[in-house]
Homo-oligomer: A and B are copies of this chain.
């Protein structure tokens, strides 16, 4: 079972660092809750909120994204398309990692869950003398549709 953060918890966590749960921060997080399978850029979040009638400013979106990332509620990712993207950090009991497969042709991103790297993390920790706390894996290739197109 995956669980996302609740607004209650967000409020508490924000107060811990003397921050407020403002309507803007709330709706930014809401966008990610409602689009938990997407990897949204700041501009896209802003767009979505504007379409919903909000008058939030782009700078506020950026500031909210940074804050939520610092708090590990969002995760910042880079797919090499020139802008930062964010996704909500789902937490389940095992703290599963999920990673991305990126199509080199159309840019489409697919997710996959895999824990095979947990062991590796330990191994690398010892070898490198780093205290490793996280990892990110990206696979690059061609999605099924683009494979078909390439055959022609």
Q: A-side interface residues toward B, CB under 8 Å?
A: 76, 78, 80, 101, 103-104, 110, 112, 114, 116-117, 120-121, 124-125, 127-144, 147
Contacts of A78 in B (CB 8 A): 78, 80
Instruction: State the number of copies, please.
Output: 2
A12-B130 Cα distance, complex, nearest whole Å:
42
| With known contacts A80-B76, A139-B121, A133–B112 Cβ distance under 8 A | no
Other 7 A-B pairs with CB < 8 A, given A104-B133, A114-B124: A116-B120, A117-B137, A124-B139, A129-B143, A132-B139, A135-B139, A136-B138
Which residues of B lie under 8 Å from residue A129 when comparing CB positions? 143-144
Query: Is the beta-carbon distance between B139 and A130 smaller than 8 angstroms?
Result: yes
Asked if A131 and B142 make an inter-chain contact with CB atoms under 8 angstroms apart, the answer reads: yes
Bound-complex Cα distance A102 to B94 (A)? 24
A142 to B128, CA, bound (A): 10
Chain B residues contacting A127 (CB-CB under 8 Å) are 112
Please list the 9 inter-chain residue pairs (A to B) with the smallest Cβ-Cβ separation, ordered nearest first. A132-B141, A130-B141, A134-B140, A129-B144, A131-B142, A135-B139, A78-B78, A136-B138, A131-B141
Residue among B134, B135, B140 making CB contact with A133, cutoff 8 Å: B140
Rounded to whole Å, the gap between the CB of A99 and the closest CB of chain B is 9
- Cα of A114 to Cα of B125 in the assembled complex, Å: 13
**Across-interface contacts of A135 in B (CB, < 8 A):** 137-140
